[in-house]
Amino acid sequence: MAGAIRAPGELAAARRRITEARGVVILTGAGVSAESGVPTFRDRTGLWARFDPQELATPEAFRRDPEGVWEWYHLRRQAVLACRPNPGHLAIARFLLERRDAVLVTQNVDGLHQLAFETLGSLEPPPDRPVPPAPAGRILELHGNLLRSRCAECGRTEDDASSEPRPGGDRRERVPRCGRCGSLLRPDVVWFGEMLDAATLDEAFRRAAEAEVCLVAGTSALVHPAASVPLATLRGGGLVIEVNPRETPLTPSAGFSFRGPSGRLLPELLRGATAP
Ligand code: BV8
Ligand code: ZN
């Protein structure tokens, strides 16, 4: 099978390619947060195995039932707030701090990549976990952030995970409202059928086209346009390295495809892969 580990030396060879590369893009998906206890989407026990994305992760669903959508996102927020970065998140954060020519493009909305920078600096991240500022321009969130809310009308965002449904009142009363115009707030994530932020997406593709290596970890590579980011590196003559316990549609195009958990493989791949 193209790309799978052929010999134990493959990890060292892949690490060397990362070390020597001019420009590295890391693309992550929900699998990178799996070892932190955040459910993935399409695994057997994933979110879409238990919930219908058309009922909860589309603008139509929010128009139809804002209370129901908020109840689901509030549950996910509470679950994510109890999670901590795992060794895979920390390895990526260290790598980004050491390699100014590297950027992280994530599909994840759980804020654990940002929190990993906080954790690197201290044993425990702050208890009241607002969305910590990511190092400017180093983390591109393609699908938004679960811990941020956005006004459905005026677009104002609130980096406040506690903008939860107000207690009491009838269900409609419990939907958080914008502090500026009073319209409904929505989770600041990209739903199916919604355009991604154009500037963020353009930057992701620009950096991928320039990169000599695109390291892809923890994604089923099924959701577009995110899944097309590594193809920009390939079109530019670069190398794709994949980390995933299972094959994906990207595996045949990967120069290396390591079968295993990102919490174990990312520290091995990125350790010491600082600039040559
Ligand atoms: C758009 C909301 C323009 C946030 C999500 C037909 C063909 C192709 C595309 C389309 C199509 N029809 C429609 C489309 C476009 C659609 C799309 O791609 N659909 C797919 C599903 C067919 N895309 C869109 O709608 C996007 N917008 O294109 O706008 C447009 C406009 C109108 C009409 C058409 C186009 C918007 C996409 C964003 C959707 N938002 N969620 C939220 O609530 O969270 S989707 C969801 O999927 C998340 O955002 C997630 O980030 C994303 C990708 O999932 P993954 O992260 O890869 O997670 P998954 O569970 O799938 O896989 C986990 C992987 O980890 C697995 O491979 C597993 O093996 C691995 N793993 C497990 N454990 C570990 C591990 N790996 C490493 N270590 C471990 N320990
Ligand atoms: Zn507003």
CA-to-CA distance for 230 and 107, rounded, in angstroms?
Answer: 13
Determine the average pLDDT of the residues in 246-258. Answer: 96
- Please check the confidence at residue 87 and state whether its pLDDT lies above 70: yes
The protein residue with its alpha carbon nearest to ligand 1, atom 41, reads 191
Which tokens is 218 given?
Answer: 């923890």
Determine the average pLDDT of the residues in 207-229. Answer: 98
- Who contacts 252 (Cβ-Cβ below 8 Å, separation ≥6)? 1, 2, 3
With a 6 Å cutoff on the Cβ, whether 201 touches ligand 1 is no
Provide the pLDDT confidence category of residue 166 given band limits of 50, 70 and 90. Answer: low
| Cβ atoms of 32 and 217 closer than 8 Å | yes
- Please check the confidence at residue 4 and state whether its pLDDT lies above 90: no
With a 6 Å cutoff on the Cβ, whether 42 touches ligand 1 is yes
CA-to-CA distance for 4 and 151, rounded, in angstroms?
Answer: 45
Active-site annotation, residues: 143
CA-to-CA distance for 248 and 105, rounded, in angstroms?
Answer: 18
The protein residue with its alpha carbon nearest to ligand 1, atom 64, reads 219
Nearest in space to 80 (alpha carbons), one of 44, 19, 39: 39
CA 65 to ligand 2 center in whole angstroms: 19
- Which pLDDT does position 120 carry in this prediction? 80
CB neighbours (10 Å) of residue 152? 17
Pocket probe for ligand 1: among 51, 192, 229, the residue whose CB has the most ligand atoms within 8 Å is 192
Question: What percent of the chain shows pLDDT beyond 90?
Answer: 71
Ligand approaching nearest to the C-alpha of 218:
1
With a 6 Å cutoff on the Cβ, whether 264 touches ligand 1 is no
How big is the chain, counted in residues? Answer: 276
Angle, in degrees to the nearest 10, between helices 9-20 and 262-270: 60
CA 25, 202, 225, 76 torsion-angle sign: positive
Which position has the token pair 């677009």?
A: 155
- Please check the confidence at residue 257 and state whether its pLDDT lies above 80: yes
CA 224 to ligand 1 center in whole angstroms: 7
